[in-house]
């Protein structure tokens, strides 16, 4: 910023549009997460979805969460580990790009709010689908283009995938982000 005279908006650069609490609660409700579940959160940000899971389940749940931004991971750790005080729950926060993680189809539930730009949401959710165990659930917050008017090959392929597994789309209330 000093050299160019322009400040960098780090939230925009990282595509860090964190999930509002009301939407996090709705995602968790749709996921059907319950005690004993193994949950994947591929882009945890500051922890809104993980916090909503812990609020909803109120008992033993395992959450594995990935995030590329170390600052967000630190904020998430403060939020989540504070919330766990005196409760059952296992939350593992990993500072790593989820797209580099080898698929492991052992998760009961995947909840996510991935980056959107340039079909990044489609790439992230398609990758995350490979982590869902048979009979498991994936709920993702995505840019609506893939189901309203898919214009890229990736969006069309994703729409086909969602149809093939009986998935559904629900619009996020206007002004949420």
pTM of the model: 0.85
pLDDT digits (tens, 9 = 90+) for 73-114: 888 888 887 766 555 568 899 999 999 999 999 999 999 999
CB within 8 Å of 146: residues ≥ 6 apart: 121, 122, 155, 158, 159, 162
Phi, psi of 154 (to 5 degrees): -65, -40
Mean pLDDT for all residues in the chain? 87
Closest CA to 139 of 164, 107, 117: 107
Structure tokens at 28: 């968790």
What is residue 60's predicted lDDT score, i.e. its pLDDT? Answer: 84
What is residue 7's predicted lDDT score, i.e. its pLDDT? Answer: 52
Element (H, E) at 66: strand 62-67
Closest CA to 126 of 161, 150, 156: 161
Distance between CA atoms of residues 133 and 165, nearest Å? 13
Structure tokens at 105: 């189809």
What is residue 158's predicted lDDT score, i.e. its pLDDT? Answer: 95
Residue whose pair of structure tokens reads 């492991």 in the numeric block: 104
Element (H, E) at 48: helix 48-57
Q: Is the four-CA dihedral 77, 12, 167, 20 of positive or negative sign?
A: positive
Residue whose pair of structure tokens reads 């869902």 in the numeric block: 132
How far apart, in Å, are the Cα atoms of 35 and each of 28, 56, 59? Answer: 13, 9, 6
Query: How confident is residue 9, by pLDDT bands cut at 50, 70 and 90?
Result: very low
Q: Is the four-CA dihedral 95, 97, 98, 103 of positive or negative sign?
A: negative
């Amino acid at each position: 910023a000093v050299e160019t005279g322009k400040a960098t908006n780090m939230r925009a650069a990282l595509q860090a549009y964190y999930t509002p609490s009301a939407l996090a609660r709705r995602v968790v409700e749709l996921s059907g997460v319950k005690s004993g579940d193994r949950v994947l959160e591929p882009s945890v940000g500051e922890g809104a979805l993980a916090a909503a899971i812990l609020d909803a389940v109120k008992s033993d749940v395992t959450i594995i969460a990935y995030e590329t931004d170390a600052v967000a991971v630190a904020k998430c750790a403060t939020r989540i580990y504070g919330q766990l005080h005196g409760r059952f729950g296992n939350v593992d926060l990993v500072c790593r790009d989820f797209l580099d993680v080898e698929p492991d189809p052992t998760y009961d539930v995947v909840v996510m709010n991935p980056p959107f730009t340039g079909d990044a949401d489609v790439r992230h959710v398609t990758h995350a689908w490979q982590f869902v165990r048979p009979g498991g659930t994936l709920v993702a917050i995505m840019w609506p283009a893939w189901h309203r008017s898919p214009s890229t090959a990736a969006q069309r392929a994703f729409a086909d995938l969602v149809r093939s597994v009986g998935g559904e789309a629900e619009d996020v209330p206007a002004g949420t982000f």
